[in-house]
């Protein structure tokens, strides 16, 4: 059975505004303490859609067993940061910009597990064109 990762932002349903204080806690269950070698928590944006995926990390924290009390990385851990001013969440025609909290757990023997909790930065912005025209061009490589 895979370990369970729970992520709980302080206001999971809320829309965060740029500059807002963001607090989040996470916990790991269903795994032995000695199995967990490191945990990485990130607050990041990424794009998804027709183009190649891009990603930007706003907050990043890596903890190993030496950083944790009793060398146990499973315990509830909280982090906080200020939300950035951009990019805002966006639903476009060709791509979307998403924000999420991502927790990555590194286990023994090179295994790793990822859990995500989506959040929203800014109002829900979409494209404003009801009938968009597409133009495509290609450059050989």
Partner 1 sequence: MARFFRLWQKKRGERRTGSRLAGTVGEAAFFGALFVLGAVALAAYWTSQAIAPHPDFFTIGWGTWLATFVLASFILIGGAGLFFTVLEVGASAERRSALARRAGDIELIRESRSRFRRFPTIPRDVNLTNSPGVRLAYRLPGLESPAWRLVAAAVTALLCVGIDTVLIAVAIRAFHIGKPEMALNAFLVPFSSVTAWSVYYFTRQLLLHTWIGPTSVEISDHPLYPGRAYEVVLVQGGHLKVNHLRLALVCEEEVTYRQGTDLRTERRTAHEGDVFERGGFTIDPSAPFEHCERFAVPRAAMHSFQSAHNAITWKLVVTLDLHRWPRVVRGFPVVVYPLIEGAERGSAD
Q: Where is 82: in which H helix or E strand?
A: strand 77-82
Indicate which single residue of 63, 65, 81, 106 sits in contact with partner 1 (rule: CB under 8 A).
106
Contact assessment for residue 97 and residue 122, using Cβ atoms and an 8 Å cutoff? no
Question: Is there binding between residue 109 and partner 1 (CB under 8 A)?
Answer: no
CA distance 109 to 106: 9
CA distance 3 to 22: 26
Strand partners, 106: 38, 112
Question: Is there binding between residue 133 and partner 1 (CB under 8 A)?
Answer: yes
Least distance to partner 1 from the beta carbon of 18, Å? Answer: 5
Q: State the residues that interact with partner 1 by CB under 8 A.
A: 17-19, 40, 42, 44-45, 47, 49-58, 60, 62, 84-88, 90, 92-95, 97, 102, 104, 106, 110, 112, 122-123, 125-129, 132-141
């Amino acid at each position: 059975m895979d370990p369970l990762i729970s992520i709980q932002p302080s206001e999971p349903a809320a829309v965060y505004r740029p500059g807002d204080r963001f607090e989040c806690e996470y916990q790991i269950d269903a795994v032995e303490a000695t199995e967990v070698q490191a945990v990485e928590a990130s607050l990041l944006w990424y794009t998804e859609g027709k183009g190649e995926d891009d990603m930007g990390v706003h907050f990043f924290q890596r903890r190993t067993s030496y950083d944790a009390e009793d060398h146990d990385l499973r315990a509830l851990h909280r982090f906080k940061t200020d939300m950035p001013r951009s990019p805002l969440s966006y639903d476009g025609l060709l791509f979307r910009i998403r924000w999420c909290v991502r927790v990555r757990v590194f286990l023994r023997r090179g295994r790793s597990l990822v859990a995500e909790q989506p959040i929203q930065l800014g109002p829900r912005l979409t494209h404003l064109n009801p009938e968009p025209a597409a133009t495509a061009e290609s450059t050989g490589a």
